[in-house]
Amino acid sequence: MTQALTMAVLVLAVIVIALVVAVFALARQVGILYERISPMGALMLDAGPKVGDPAPVFSLPTLDGRQVDIGRAAATSTLLFFLSPTCPVCKKLLPILRSTARSEAAWLRIVLASDGERTAQEKFYRQSKLEEFPYVLSTELGLAFKVSRLPYAVLLDESGRVTAKGLINSREQLESLFTAKELGVSSVQEYLKSA
């Protein structure tokens, strides 16, 4: 009888150890999955011009010497994409911006915006092959939109009003700005709450 009881305790101990290992393995996998899945929609920070407000008006020189107007009426919507040469997420999003610029060219122009030392910005501009985008250096532009984290994007409609804005870490978050514009809401989160 004691032999059977001892065997049962040993079998249960092995099962408990196996379950503990399985729980730790599953917890690790959930953590990895959580890191890979971005939150739905761009994270809208509650600062700067509000959605629906007119954007601050700027006329700024680009790195290649052209002039770009921001906040004025235009033939297309404008996506202001704030980035930095030292931001790894910004660099990860550059191919997505190129793809978006091609696929949405009929209604959207993308303007890259940064601040800092011009020589470093020009080097980043050339190395990253960003010639297809107007690229402006302006501390005042970032301050006007109250950009505190990067990468950050602001979508302006054809009349120069802020349509959507938010922190961008993935293609889905970038496209959420376009979805918000189509739905006529300030953010996808707002739409989901009201639905």
Quick one: which H or E segment has residue 181? helix 171-183
Q: What's at 176, amino acid-wise? A: S
Average pLDDT of the residues of the chain? 90
Q: How buried is 176 (Cβ within 10 angstroms: 0-12 exposed, 13-18 middle, 19+ buried)?
A: buried
pLDDT digits (tens, 9 = 90+) for 84-138: 999 999 999 999 999 999 999 999 999 999 999 999 999 999 999 999 999 999 9
Q: What's the rounded mean pLDDT across residues 165-176?
A: 91
C-alpha span between 48 and 64 (Å, rounded): 28
C-alpha count within 13 angstroms, C-beta hemisphere, residue 63: 25
Q: Say what percent of the chain tops pLDDT 90.
A: 71
How much is the pLDDT for 32?
Answer: 77
Q: How many CB atoms lie within 10 A of CB 98?
A: 15
The answer to whether residue 82 scores a pLDDT higher than 80 is yes
- Claim: this prediction has a pTM higher than 0.85: no
How much is the pLDDT for 152?
Answer: 95
Q: Which residue is listed with tokens 């919507």?
A: 77
C-alpha span between 28 and 91 (Å, rounded): 28
pLDDT digits (tens, 9 = 90+) for 25-75: 998 888 777 666 645 666 666 678 999 999 999 999 999 999 999 999 999
How much is the pLDDT for 2?
Answer: 85
The answer to whether residue 170 scores a pLDDT higher than 80 is yes
Helices (H), 52-138: 88-103, 118-127
pLDDT digits (tens, 9 = 90+) for 134-161: 999 999 999 999 999 999 999 999 999 9
Q: What's at 10, amino acid-wise? A: L
